[in-house]
Chain A
Amino acid sequence: MKRRDFVVALGAGALSTASRPLAAAPRSSGAVQATQLLIPMDDRQTNHLKAYGVTFRSIKRGGRAEWLLNYRGGSFLLKDDRTARREAALEGVLVEDLPAAREADLRGRIAASNMDAIPLEKAPRVAVYAPPAAAPWDDAVTMALEYAGIAYDKVWDPEVIGGALPDYEWLHLHHEDFTGQYSKFFLTSGGAPWLRDMARLHVETARALGYSDPAALKKAVARRIRGYVNEGGFLFAMCTATETLEIALAAEDVDVAAEYSDGSPMDPDASARLRWERTLAFRGATLEQSPQIASFSDIDGHQVNHPTRRQPLGAFRLFNFSAKIDPVHTMLVQCHRDVIADFYGLTTSFSRERLKPSVTVLAEEPGAPWVKYIHGDFGQGTWTFLGGHDPEDPQHQIGDPPTDLSLHTRSPGYRLILNNVLFPAAKKRELKT
């Protein structure tokens, strides 16, 4: 499915839903029977995160589902079947019977309000870009997928260079450093065994794939990812993958890696030589020249690892979009909370002045010079960037124990991640006008 068709079709969905007769819902002549299962996603829900998994697997089994945008926190409507009920009971997900009469009322409310019902018809094939030895516990998206029970494949440099990306509808970038500098922890944590192993793996992989060093390989991988989006893929990136992917794309012919990574120091004039027309989201950034400071550029508003530039955490607010006019943006911000506590990452946020004009801001910290959650189109695909590392571990440090999502079943931050996973499942519909 190409992004353009998808968005056009969703736009049409608004019209079709709004004009759908209220009597379209099936009616039973005798006693009221439950014909649909409603998974409410407001504060009554007992496990928001697992609700996405129940919905995803229902679609995967061939069942039809609908995403009720802006209705009770972005609820799901599933075809009532034993498997879905059983799964919901096992996972602790609250479901409600929706008899035909109530469904008609519901559709009436949706038609008359800033809501929409988006059909979900095909479970996307999901890929997570992560090194082979990465534990699932250090990446928020992988944790969310594991916890919700959403199947995914891991891909890494050999698969990306080998052309595997078109096999997937949705790609998530693990918090990889696409500048090839091992997240710039090399000098400060040089002796750490995990870092030595990581560096060795990257160097060996680069050589095996015919690249001189990890920085060169990562640039090639970044270009492949951009090509994937251009051809219609859905990209979701968090933390430092957002910023470094963009730097790697802008730095195609510029040395932006420290000497320890590629054998030559960073080009002192690197910032001026970057080509931002090649990127998806950002423009005009100035790079951090010191290899000892684990910060990449002034794209990140919070600069968590910079001793003097570090900014305190606040809270970010999700924008309210028109469900019938902007269904894509509305899907991405479905949540039972409008304001969410912020969380650090190597890249925590995105400076407003570094955003390209075409970028849509999905969430911002009001009054702050940075935003948290952004989205945009590129070619026939779309990309979404969320700053920060782990929504439920705001000060995450290397070596911290993994986040246990069974303790955060209502996490609004993790819901944003799962919105992205489900969003490519939305059905495209033909534009009527």
Chain B
Amino acid sequence: MRARRVVTVLCLGLLLGPAVSLSQEPGRPVTAEGARQQGLTFERQGRFGEAAAAYRHGLATAPADVALLVGLERSLARVGQIESMWPFVRRAVETDPSNEWIRGLEFRLGARLGGADSAAAVASRWMAAMPASVMPYREWGSWLAERGDAVGASAVLALGRERFGDVPLAEISAPVLAQAGEWDQAAHQWALAVRANVGLLSPAAASLGRAPESSRSTMLGALMDGGGAAGRWLASDLLLEWGQPDVAWTVLDAALPGERVQAAGLLSRFADRALALRTAAGAEVRGYALERMARFTTGPAQERARLDAAQSFADAGNLVGAQRMLSQLSWEGDRASADAAGTMATFIRVLADAGLVAEAESRYREWESRLGAVENAEIRGRLALGWVRRGELERAEGLVGADSSVAAVSVRGWIALYRGELDAARRLFREAGPHAQDRDEATRSTGLLVLLERVRAERAPDLGSALLHVTRGDTARGIAALQAAAAQVPARAGRADVLTLAGELAARSGALETAASVFGSALVADPDGPAAPAAELGLASVHARTGRNAEALGHLEHLILTYPESALVPQARRLLDEIRGAVPKT
């Protein structure tokens, strides 16, 4: 508060400054206002000695003028003569003994020049002179805390709380107690401070958020049991920060105030913080908070909250929640906006990715006309891929129809691949290019295109079927089927590549012994073929994961020295460094 006022005075002075005559004759009586302006002008020019002289001059006529005193303090500090401030402060106190600002200045000066003993003496005089003021406790406690004397500060503030109660000093006491490691008491004080000023929620959470793990449980208990509603808001904030979003939401939901604006503010804050978690759990509780917020709002704001809630639920994979929110939206007229269509598109995608392809397609048919051309093509492709993943290749084919978009061409490539029509798949993937689907799909199709180039057969139904098992999530069956399909491919015309793919799938699924064996078979099938670096890197990686570092190092060194031009060499070097401990493990 004081600092703000000083800043205001200073700004005012700076604005008025240019109007001041700098040629004022020394010794001539000046008004306090004139001295103030002259002092500020000198300060702005870096002439602190002259500024101090101007302020001193003004204090001769107005000894208790706070702006002059503060200016003098500033200027003397810059010229290293702060001790010469004393007579002016003493005179100001005598002139206006009940002025809190002057008392504060006296305290600051005493503390600065005389240390702890002097600070204590000045504070005691202030307390005696103004027994109804809480300020000396605040100033003294803050000063001690700044010096790192948390124990001393706690004692002073405890004295103040004894006299004035907890509330007036809660904002000061709380961080001091936190600094002293008194987390339960700090939590109590912060709850009081937040109750008086909900704007303190952020600093309170930041302060208590530093509590060591061992103290958190009891501290949360203190907030929940004795902190009232503000304590629960704070507890909810902390739980969210400490990675328990579901509990955080339950706590906040139960402590929401009835007052609409305050409740909406708390919910909005919670939703924003939950979004920052960037986790599914965070998205879900954000959805709940926004759903609740919709109850405290009306009109467009309510629609917005429901839309955002639906989006959050969809992001979290909570289809029921998303559906609930979508069902409450008004879709007619202007309100069926682009935002609503966007949310519905997200919902359809989520349904398709969750394997509920039939429901997704049904929703899509309802909304098809309201979606843009690009979005339509993308969703149709996604739905088709959904059918492909379920093994319903004809349905997928029917959905993309004669669509000539790259997404549709890519889907037709997948369909051909899973039917074992390798020639057609090669042609379609090449035609679709790398931007047909999202990044994951594009990476997969590019990888498979390399495999298809190596397996030169025109048709390989067993291989297509094995890949479909993998796509449908039946990895174990897929690996076995890939091994069986590999046996039908010539040793030096793709067998090692198929086995390497099987090994990579096995390694990814945690079947490390199987992976090692399959990679080994790949290396035997075609020891110096194009798949050898990938098989050797895969084998080294499996060895490293199972603690067989010597074997891993042997393979990596062989890979780097034998295939120096391979694109996998940087990865091999990275793994080599990790095993040796030369870089942090990722």
Contacts and interface: CB of A to CB of B under 8 A. Distances in A.
Interface of A: 86, 89-92, 136-137, 146-147, 149, 186-187, 189-193, 196, 258-260, 265, 268, 290-292, 401-402, 404-406
A260 B148 contact: yes
Contact of A90 (B150, B215, B576): B576
Interface string B292-313: 0000000000000000000000
A396 to B, nearest CB: 14
B210 A89 contact: no
19 contacts: A86-B561, A90-B557, A90-B576, A92-B570, A136-B581, A147-B582, A149-B580, A186-B148, A187-B150, A190-B180, A191-B181, A191-B210, A191-B211, A265-B147, A290-B148, A291-B148, A404-B583, A406-B574, A406-B583
A90 B561 contact: yes
Nearest to B573: A92
A196 B581 CA distance: 27
Contacts of B211: 191
B577 A259 contact: no
B115 A268 contact: yes
B575 to A, nearest CB: 10
B583 A193 contact: no
Given A146-B582, A259-B149, 14 more contacts: A89-B560, A89-B564, A90-B573, A137-B584, A146-B581, A190-B179, A190-B181, A191-B181, A192-B210, A192-B212, A193-B212, A268-B115, A292-B148, A401-B584
Contacts of B580: 149
Given A147-B582, A192-B212, A404-B584, A187 B179 contact: yes
B118 to A, nearest CB: 12
Contacts of A259: 148-149
Nearest to A407: B583
Nearest to B581: A146
A262 B184 CA distance: 28
A206 B178 CA distance: 28
B147 A290 contact: yes
Interface of B: 115, 146-150, 178-181, 183, 210-213, 215, 557, 560-561, 564, 569-570, 573-574, 576-577, 580-584, 586
Contacts of A187: 148, 150, 179
Which 5 residue pairs across A and B have the least CB separation, nearest first? A291-B148, A402-B584, A187-B148, A191-B212, A147-B582
B210 A149 contact: no
A308 to B, nearest CB: 13
Given A189-B210, A192-B210, A89 B147 contact: no
Contacts of B581: 136, 146
A89 B561 contact: yes
A242 to B, nearest CB: 24
Contacts of B146: 290, 292
B568 to A, nearest CB: 13
B489 to A, nearest CB: 33
A405 B557 contact: no
Contacts of B180: 190
B577 A147 contact: yes
A406 B573 contact: yes
A315 B573 CA distance: 32
Nearest to B580: A149
Contacts of B147: 265, 290-292
Contacts of A190: 179-181
Contacts, number: 69
Nearest to B215: A191
Contacts of A193: 212-213
Nearest to A91: B573
Contacts of B150: 187
A258 B147 CA distance: 9
Contacts of A86: 561
B181 A258 contact: no
Contacts of A291: 147-148
Contacts of A146: 581-583
A11 to B, nearest CB: 36
B563 to A, nearest CB: 11
Contacts of B574: 406
A189 B206 CA distance: 12
- Most central of A186, A190, A292 by chain B CB within 10 Å: A190
Nearest to B561: A89
Contacts of A189: 210
Nearest to A85: B561
A36 B149 CA distance: 65
A161 to B, nearest CB: 28
Contacts of B210: 189, 191-192
A401 B149 CA distance: 33
B583 A90 contact: no
A287 to B, nearest CB: 15
A328 B24 CA distance: 61
B241 to A, nearest CB: 14
A168 to B, nearest CB: 21
Nearest to A268: B115
Nearest to B572: A90
A120 to B, nearest CB: 22
Contacts of A136: 581
A188 B577 CA distance: 36
B178 to A, nearest CB: 8
A407 to B, nearest CB: 9
B142 to A, nearest CB: 12
Nearest to B149: A259
A84 B580 CA distance: 18
Nearest to B553: A90
B536 to A, nearest CB: 14
Nearest to A406: B583
A259 B150 CA distance: 11
A92 B573 CA distance: 8
Nearest to A405: B583
Contacts of B582: 146-147, 149, 405-406
A324 B456 CA distance: 64
A292 B576 CA distance: 44
B209 to A, nearest CB: 10
A433 B570 CA distance: 51
Nearest to A260: B148
A392 to B, nearest CB: 12
A291 B557 CA distance: 52
Most buried by B among A147, A186, A191: A191
Contacts of B115: 268
B148 A258 contact: yes
A290 B210 CA distance: 22
Nearest to A188: B179
A153 to B, nearest CB: 15
Contacts of B564: 89
A408 to B, nearest CB: 10
B137 to A, nearest CB: 20
Contacts of A405: 582-583
A406 B581 CA distance: 12
A141 B586 CA distance: 21
Nearest to B116: A265
Contacts of A268: 115
A193 B211 CA distance: 10
B559 to A, nearest CB: 10
A178 B253 CA distance: 51
Contacts of A401: 584
B147 to A, nearest CB: 7
B114 to A, nearest CB: 10
Contacts of B573: 90-92, 406
B277 to A, nearest CB: 18
Contacts of A137: 584
Most central of A147, A196, A265, A404 by chain B CB within 10 Å? A404
A103 to B, nearest CB: 25
A281 B557 CA distance: 46
Contacts of A147: 577, 582-583
Given A187-B148, A259-B148, A406 B212 contact: no
Nearest to B213: A193
A406 B146 CA distance: 43
